[in-house]
Every structure is written in structure tokens, then in C-alpha cells.
Amino acid sequence: MMKRVNTEVLRSSACLALLAVVALAGCKSGTQPNAALKPTGTGAAIVETSGGHQVGATGTALKDPVVVQVNDEQGTAVPGALVQFQGPAGVSFEPAAALTDTSGQATTAVTLGGIAGRYQLTAVTPGKAKPASLDVIETALGYQQRLGAILADKYCTRCHDPESSAERVSNYDNLETKPHAFTDGNTLNKMSDADLTAIIQYGGPALKRSALMPPYEKTLSLAEVRALIAYTRALADPPYQPAGTVYAHK
């Protein structure tokens, strides 16, 4: 028997969802150029040096600063050029505006907003004829996704990430069948949550995949499996697009 849907609850939920979208993707934040900043150079292009595609918890500072470089028409670095950093509401920059140093670079520390999701940050330099801008993507993880990140680091990353780190030696090159990276949206976005759950719980053979993927049914609870899936969805490139919410009609 179909339950009656409380229209007031639906209206309230819709309003909250709209507010979340506006907060994350709404107007750009950023201060006006500091009057004390006196540009001595003007570039034609701005490129990323480092700091893009980081993942951090909501409301926290990213581990590494975002560094951009301003170049002229010939691709030569331009010192003394003004750079402004902008982002969705809730994101903060320190500083929000800066002049490039002798190597043509400007650096800012980024603190993510309080809503989980993908943030598009923008670095802008005025340019001679028109402004030049650069988009930088960062990802903020909510509680469930952060739990998934911890679990992935403990159980998954050694095989799914081909890069070794000071804390972990990758096993990727030793595997005959290469695991998909969690960022591989072209593959993982096509798989349902049920498919991913089956592979995590019962191993690759559950979906006729490689037996090198072991089962974790006795290691991870269902809640932890869901957290892992939420984490992979957050990292997916191209971004994962969940199916739209469908409300039952009377």
C-alpha cells in the first residue's frame, strides 16, 4: 500500500535542497583588489602550477596551497601581475588577491566550504585587452565520504592507486589485471551502487570481473561499503551524476 506523501515535508525538503545548491554553486566569493597592491606587470594568460584536484574535509583548509602563474603572449612568466582568487560562497582564500612574484607565480591557501561536493575555484588576472581566467577544481568530503576515504586508504589504495607514497608502496604494477582508479568515472559511473556493493562484498567474480579483487564481506559492514561507494562517487572524473529523485504520485 502506497504511503501518502506529506506535501509540507516535500516543500521543506525542496527548499533545503535549493539552498544547498545555491550555497555551493551560487555567486562567486572574493574580495575586491587590495588598494595597497600596485601591479607592475600585465599578462595574457594564467596557468595552474600546483594545488588543483585536492580532496579535503568540508570546512577545512586544503593540505597544499593553490599556485598559479601569469604568462605573457610568448609564454614568459610575468612578475608583478595582479591575481584575484574567487569561489562559491563559503570558500575562503588567504590571500584573496596577490601580485605575482619574480617567477610570475601567485599563491593562496584555500579553505573549503561547509557543503560536500565539487568546488570550482577561479583565478583571474586583468590582462592587457581582456581578463584571463583559470578554473581549479577541488573536492570537499562530508562525513560518510571521509569515512570512505579512511577505509580506502586502509584496504583499497595500495592496489587501485599506481602511485607510491612515503606511507604506502603501490602494488598496482604487480597485478596482471589493473584495477580501476577511484577517479575513473568513465567506468565506475556506469556501474550501479548495487554492482559496486556486490564487487566489494563478494569480490570481482561476483560480476564476472578479475578474481584479484578479493571479497570484503567479512571485513566491512554494509555501512562501511556504502561509505566507500560514496567516496568513489565524490572522486569520479567526469563527475558522477546520480539519478534524479522521483516522488510518488497519489
d(CA 125, CA 131): 6
Which uninterrupted H or E stretch holds 35? none
Domain of residue 222 covers: 143-235
Residue 123 has pLDDT above 80, yes or no: yes
Find the mean pLDDT for residues 20-38.
54
Tens of pLDDT, residue by residue over 130-170, are 999 999 999 999 999 999 999 999 999 999 998 888 888 99
Residue that is last in its domain, among 97, 117, 141? 141
Is 241 part of a structural domain of the chain? no
The whole-chain average pLDDT of the chain stands at 87
Is 112 part of a structural domain of the chain? yes
Is 1 part of a structural domain of the chain? no
- Return the beta strands (E) in the chain as ranges: 28-29, 45-50, 55-57, 66-71, 82-88, 92-94, 97-99, 105-111, 117-125, 132-141
Which pTM value belongs to this model? 0.78
d(CA 163, CA 25): 32
Residue 35 has pLDDT above 70, yes or no: no
181 and 85 co-located in one domain: no
- Smallest CA-to-CA distance from 122 within 65, 84, 81 is with 84
Q: Please state the domain count of the chain.
A: 2
The answer to whether 201 and 195 are in contact (CB under 8 A) is: no
The single residue listed with the C-alpha cell 560536500 is 116
The two beta strands, 55-57 and 132-141, are parallel
pLDDT computed for residue 83 by the predictor: 98
CA-based end-to-end distance of the chain:
11
Residue that is last in its domain, among 94, 114, 141? 141
Is 247 part of a structural domain of the chain? no
The answer to whether 152 and 172 are in contact (CB under 8 A) is: no
pLDDT computed for residue 113 by the predictor: 97
115 and 194 co-located in one domain: no
DSSP state of 61: B
pLDDT computed for residue 11 by the predictor: 40
DSSP state of 140: E
Is 84 part of a structural domain of the chain? yes
Residue that is last in its domain, among 106, 121, 141? 141
Residue 209 has pLDDT above 60, yes or no: yes
The answer to whether 112 and 60 are in contact (CB under 8 A) is: yes
137 and 231 co-located in one domain: no
DSSP state of 77: B
34 and 125 co-located in one domain: yes
Is 77 part of a structural domain of the chain? yes
List all residues 6 or more positions away from 56 whose beta carbon is below 8 Å from its beta carbon: 62, 63, 112, 138, 139, 140, 141
pLDDT computed for residue 28 by the predictor: 52
pLDDT computed for residue 34 by the predictor: 63
| CATH number, domain with residue 214 | 1.10.760.10
168 and 117 co-located in one domain: no
d(CA 238, CA 157): 20
152 and 210 co-located in one domain: yes
pLDDT computed for residue 143 by the predictor: 97
d(CA 172, CA 181): 10
Is 242 part of a structural domain of the chain? no
58 and 35 co-located in one domain: yes
